[in-house]
Amino acid sequence: MLAGLLQGWRRPAVVREAALPAIADTSVTRAATRTHVGRVRTINEDRVFADTARGLWAVADGMGGHFAGDIAAETIVDSLRRLADDPARFDDDRVETILAAAGRDIHAVASGSTRVSGSTVVALHIDGAQGTLFWAGDSRAYRARRGRLEQLSRDHSLVQELIDAGALSPDLAERHPQAHVITRALGASPEVAIERRSVTVEPGDLYLLCSDGLTRGCSALALAAGRPIEAIADELMAGALAAGGADNISLVLIAVE
């Protein structure tokens, strides 16, 4: 559904950003975040996190209809915030450890109330020319590079398993009656496997982290080359809301120069 979404992105030729603190040793110069309750739900269970100076960003999507999905997502974001606020340098293993611990905390709280709670998550850590993605569930990561949009994450969902087994075509996946059934979420059990992928980071890259409220609701958008990421973020959000906004909608855009 997002084919062509960020097509044509190029680094603006005239923009000059102030140098970021050297603590993260990252070339990222700008990030934009958006989150919206949507047009149907009354509670926003999504949370976004962005600390560009430390090279760490995330989107967490609390499980709709379950106990305290917003608290589950907030637990993840709070854990990442504490990590980023610590002046000590951190690596990818530390990010994964923090996410896993947040999942255990969510599960412990839910178990004490005999209720189910959980949240999907997608996070990106960039250090220089190296990026690492972490995710569990169907929150996604995309990269636009030289006019080509690529989905970097792979959903942990029932329909993805059906696609992998050859029992369902990708074109029919989003209309499947069980399209919202996910197979992993932090907090759903004491230990949840967090998938991890390393990527190279190049000047001109644009990374998109988003909840499924964007990917399920946003039609393909033709975006002009060189547009500021704040304008791109606004347009993505407007497109998802115009399509009905049936779910909470959240995104983080990260531009590299």
- Tokens (6 digits) for 155: 């959903």
Q: How far is CA 39 from the centre of its chain?
A: 21
Average of pLDDT values for 66-93?
94
- What pLDDT sits at residue 95? 98
Which residues are CB-neighbours of 145 under 8 A, at least 6 positions away? 202, 204, 205, 206
- What pLDDT sits at residue 138? 94
Element (H or E) spanning 129, and its range?
Answer: none
- What pLDDT sits at residue 109? 85
Average of pLDDT values for 137-141?
95
- What pLDDT sits at residue 110? 78
Q: Between residues 65 and 91, which one has the greater pLDDT? A: 91
Q: Model confidence at 16, in pLDDT bands (50, 70, 90)?
A: very low
- What pLDDT sits at residue 111? 77
- What pLDDT sits at residue 87? 95
Nearest-angstrom CA–CA distance, 199 and 54: 17
Q: Model confidence at 20, in pLDDT bands (50, 70, 90)?
A: very low
pLDDT > 90 in the chain, percent: 61
End-to-end CA distance of the chain: 27
Mean pLDDT of the chain: 83
Spatial CA neighbour of 208 closest among 157, 135, 158: 135
- What pLDDT sits at residue 238? 92
Q: Indicate the pairing of strand 195-200 with strand 130-136.
A: antiparallel
Q: Model confidence at 6, in pLDDT bands (50, 70, 90)?
A: low
**Predicted confidence (pLDDT) per residue in 45-73, tens digit:** 999 999 999 999 999 999 866 668 999 99
Give residue for tokens 């909840």.
Answer: 211
Q: Model confidence at 104, in pLDDT bands (50, 70, 90)?
A: very high
Is residue 217 within 8 A of residue 244, CB to CB? The reply is yes
Provide the Cα torsion 192, 61, 121, 19; round to 10°.
-160
**Predicted confidence (pLDDT) per residue in 149-195, tens digit:** 899 999 997 666 676 666 666 666 666 656 667 899 999 889 999 99
Q: Model confidence at 27, in pLDDT bands (50, 70, 90)?
A: low
- What pLDDT sits at residue 147? 85
Helix (H, G, I), strand (E, B) or coil at 64: coil
Q: Indicate the pairing of strand 28-36 with strand 249-256.
A: antiparallel
Least confident stretch, 13-22, 188-197, 212-221, 238-247: 13-22
- What pLDDT sits at residue 117? 85
- What pLDDT sits at residue 168? 67
- What pLDDT sits at residue 66? 65
